[in-house]
Amino acid sequence: MKRVIGIFLLFSIFVLNAQSNSDSLLKVWNDTSIIDTVRASALRDYIYNKHFRSNVDSAVILAEKHLEFSKSINNSNTILNSYLINSMVNARSGNYDKAIGFSFEALNDTLCEKRWSCQSTFYNVLGNVYTLMNVPKKALVQYRKALNLNIENSGDSTTIGFLYSNIGNLYHDINEDSALYFFNKSLKIQMALKDDFRIAQVNWNIGRAYSKNPKKAIEFYKKSYAFFKKINYVSYLATLANNISISYLKLDNITKASEYAEASLQYADKSKSRLELRNAYSINFKIQEIKNNYEEALKYFELSTMIKDSLNRQSNVKALHEAEIKYEYEKKASADSVFYAEEQKIADARLAVKDAELLYNKHISNGIIIVLFIIVFLSVFLLLRYQKIQSQNDIIDQQKEIVSKTIEEIKEKSQILERKNRETIESINYARYIQRSLYPDEGEMNSYFHDFLVFNLPKDIVGGDFHWFKSFENKAIAIAADCTGHGVPGGFITVLGNLFIESSTGDKPNSPANILADINNELVTVLKQDEEDAIQDGMDLAVCLIDKKESKLLFSGSRNGLFIVNKSGDVHEVKGDFTPVGGYYSRKEKFDKRTYQIQELKLNNGDWVFMYSDGYYDQFGGPKNKSMGNIKFKEILSNAVKQNKVKSHDFKKHFFDWMGDNHQLDDVLLLGFTV
């Protein structure tokens, strides 16, 4: 059975109001006295709210009507909205070629080319269509484009959560751990946003990721099923009931499998979706076959096959064939006239001989003429050929001269580029020395801590991760920061970060929460981030105020946390706030009103505190060539403390052993200490 998945739909250029009353929307559409764009929006919302999840055939017809009306009023935004609703309903009905066509028409639209959010929306729709067509490589390309646009332009968290979930769907059949990694990232965002609808969708996808563990899969499926049953979302209920039935079949629980298979068929019949009907018929066929109800099984098999063939006809690419060329042949009829001469009398013989001699002489003359003509023709041909060869040689000589000049110019330009590149590299190397001069004095850290380590590995010559330390007798402040980007751009932000921290702390220890707030305010002010189209760079930080006399520390974090590992290797994770330092978090948020929580943590004898950036555990490698992940990272920290291998070179060896032949993905920073 072709797998059924829960795909997130992404709406960036407009927001559909799922709570709108369908009757009132239809009333607005039918009222011709209302502004055309408002009527178009009402029809669009009516299609989605009334028919998209329950009657997809009606949705397709109305979407065509919406596009016709949008083009008649010639409003660019309305046309883009119409391309989106048409792509969605055609994908849902199995008209994949039409869905792809509408998406590419939108992406080629001049207005959409100017809006990254519009491009992101349609890249996501294309990813959804290719996923439904079971072309995961093409789907992943589209989802990655959408995700990169949102990350580069500081898109909202809801959208990024959608895309993480869609990417997780693609890894479902490739790598269960990778699928769960992306689903959990999505779930973390949705739970932070308290979006029950999206949480239910992610639970559905996590259930799919546990396909090899049907008990676990049923647990997550039922969470999602309960929510969508409460809001009567029939198409989702059809698919979820189908998935639950399949899971019970794996557990050999035919009774429960039959119950949910019948429910799947009832909801699919209500939704009028051929895709959901096909899957409902397919699972009921399997169950009836197991029960030995062969007549019923045959009925469901035939129904499933009919819909499957229909979907395949619509999704296959139409082949174009060249017409065959027919040749006609004509038969040539030739008639040879043979002249026979009768023997003549001896008296006529001499006349015949004379005629033969004349004919022979004529043939000789004709032969000489033909030979002379051939000689003249060959002479003229050879002369023309010689002239042509000479002309070609002249052209070749000219081209050689041009090529020689071009090669010389390329060599000169190459030397210029090499010199400029060398100067640039030398400048960046000098920038590295400047950046390293801002690093804390290791002698001061050695005097304060019982033991410590710093593993800082930039991806490029200069990096976007940095650490900061300053002691105040029994107290000290330690900071690990991950700035936006890496390389030269990230390096500039690290310099600003060092200056802002120095400004905030001064000559006495400051509260970690206050330090974060000060850095945020300085970044917003210096980079003018409250203005339109401003650079939205920021940084993720973990800030600790350590009191070694009291054996405790105060911690505040912005999108970054820390780990505390005791002598037995037990790892305690402390998470920071989701609120950023610098850059957008939400459009309604006030930059200068960001606050950060502060946590007080008790340190026991032998405890190690680790502060980090995400470059270490996001690195791809290992036997399965996947992201290291949080679990493996904590295992490395635990073993290091238990085995007393907590030097910088120990963690460097772990990192390079994991990375293998892969390229380093990001800057890496790990700061650890014990008091």
CA dist 552 and 514 (Å) reads: 18
Long-range contacts of residues 142-148, Cβ cutoff 8 Å, at least 24 apart: 143/167, 143/170, 145/119, 145/120, 146/10, 146/119, 146/120, 146/121
CA distance 247 to 218: 7
Helices (H), 194-233: 196-209, 214-230
Beta carbons within 8 Å of 627's beta carbon, 6+ residues apart: 178, 181, 617, 618, 619, 620
Q: How far is CA 470 from CA 86, 456, 492, in A?
A: 60, 18, 21
> Containing H/E element for 470?
strand 465-472
What kind and span of H or E run contains 543? Answer: strand 539-547
**CA atoms of 619 and 604, how far apart (whole Å):** 31
Q: How many angstroms from the chain centroid is the CA of residue 439?
A: 36
Cβ neighbourhood burial of 670 (10 Å; 0-12, 13-18, 19+): buried
What backbone phi and psi angles, to 5 degrees, belong to 454? -135, 120
82 phi and psi angles, rounded to 5 deg? -70, -40
DSSP label of 592: G
Which amino acid is it at 194? K
Which portions of the chain are predicted below pLDDT 70?
1-20, 309-362, 485-486, 533, 584-592
Question: Taking the alpha carbons of 95, 237, 130, 83 in that order, is the dihedral positive or negative?
Answer: positive
Write out the two tokens for 451: 């033991």
Distance CA 225, CA 232 (A): 10
List the 668-674 sheet strands across, edge first: 451-457, 668-674, 608-612, 562-565, 571-574
Separation between Cα atoms, residue 135 and residue 29, nearest integer Å: 38
Q: What is the pLDDT of residue 315?
A: 43
pTM of the full predicted structure? 0.43
Length of the chain: 675
In degrees, rounded to 5, the angle at the alpha carbon of residue 109 between the alpha carbons of residues 125 and 531 is 85
